[in-house]
Chains A and B, each alone.
Chain A
């Protein structure tokens, strides 16, 4: 498929937005702002999927991130002993380690992008409905084991988080 200039323009715009919101995550001093910035960074990635005509993935990304990042925000607020999350805090910690880890991750990602064999680009983008069906078959076929194990891991984490969050002696009966 040959991308037209409009597509490239929008892709660049949303890509830049995703990176910019990613930067804002660490520049702000408020937990809630940080979480919302991360949310909009991920939403921009969802918009990039839409520009690349991957409709289902785009809509799913845009939907999931709105809820996930908001829930992350409330967990941050709950665990930070800061009711409401109105207090200011530094968003960067262990700067040297973070810089090294981030740099290594960046180089690795670049290496995968540049060295990986991606095959030839698809000439025709399948229809959105066809893509959705193909994705469903993939999830219930070849990738089922991976996704099921990821799902189980997340469920375990959810139960563990709830265990940590509830009152220990049952005095706070709902």
Chain B
């Protein structure tokens, strides 16, 4: 039952986000548009490039979807509404999303095309930058909760949300989440107008549909992760828990989809430089700060 509820929430969320994405790119909000686009993709011929690495080409979109769904399994909508409450939940989100990288390398390398391949390797370059900024803020969040369980992380924010407790970690994690879901300004792996779609270039039809759906689910899961790590998850007055989780997740996701479009794209080298020379020291400061508070302030 919980699985069905979470899957339904994922599908509804992905649909809504697709509508929002088309709104921020084309300026018109329409709920039917993503459905029509999905139907059109499903009906279109799915071309396999000549001399492609068939195994990688076919497996990549599915692996991307599986990575997103696995990460969703440890995200709670409300205290009882979680597929599996792992003792290592916060780490598991990261472990599942690490396979986004594998899927994109396979999608880039599989079709034997230059644009796709450059897109895939670009994502790997991006990964070297953002990966530490996912793990280190999560470390600070887990330090406060004294647990990696996502349920206990939300419960630890009953008095004060983590966005106020560790704002530095919040900013770093959101930036890293944008890079992980290759959203602007970190969309070089799929840069439209530069790589003609990058990792998506050679995909058409149903395969492209799965790829796009998986991407939307990853954005949604990351927004949900921001919600449970920093915005108190289901905590809130009046409304039921799941409604708060859903509302916060959608707000964060809309923010992720719109915010970056106001900024210029960041080149890979500059991104790596920023991540390692600025982001990692800041993340260490965040951990130190949270550690000092945990030791000084009695719980």
Contacts and interface: CB of A to CB of B under 8 A. Distances in A.
Is B one of A's binding partners?
Answer: yes
In order of increasing CB-CB distance, the 10 nearest A-B pairs are: A128-B87, A63-B95, A66-B98, A174-B269, A129-B87, A59-B88, A84-B117, A62-B95, A59-B95, A63-B98
Most chain A CB neighbours (cut-off 10 Å) among B95, B114, B273: B95
B249 interface: no
Interface string B147-162: 1110000000000000
Interface string B266-290: 0001100100000000000000000
B12 interface: no
Contact of B87 (A36, A66, A77, A132): A132
B91 A70 contact: no
A132 B88 contact: yes
A42 to B, nearest CB: 12
A32 B109 contact: yes
18 contacts: A30-B53, A33-B53, A36-B106, A55-B86, A59-B91, A59-B92, A63-B94, A67-B101, A71-B127, A73-B105, A74-B121, A84-B121, A85-B109, A86-B109, A127-B87, A129-B87, A129-B147, A129-B148
B127 A70 contact: yes
A126 to B, nearest CB: 11
Contacts, number: 76
Contacts of A59: 86, 88, 91-92, 95
Interface residues of A, number: 27
B58 interface: no
A39 interface: yes
B92 to A, nearest CB: 5
Interface of B: 53, 56, 86-88, 91-92, 94-95, 98-99, 101-102, 105-106, 109, 112, 114, 117-118, 121, 124-125, 127-128, 131, 147-149, 269-270, 273
Interface SS majority for chain B: helix
Given A36-B105, A55-B86, A132-B87, 10 more contacts: A30-B53, A36-B56, A59-B92, A62-B98, A66-B101, A66-B102, A84-B114, A84-B121, A128-B87, A174-B273
Contact of B112 (A39, A77, A86): A86
Contacts of A70: 101-102, 105, 124, 127
B109 A128 contact: no
Contacts of B95: 59-60, 62-63, 66
A55 B149 CA distance: 12
A56 B124 contact: no
Contacts of A77: 121
Given A70-B105, A85-B109, A174 B91 contact: no
Contacts of A131: 87
Most chain B CB neighbours (cut-off 10 Å) among A30, A56, A62, A63: A63
Nearest to B268: A174
Contact of B117 (A36, A66, A71, A86): A86
Interface string A118-130: 0000000001110
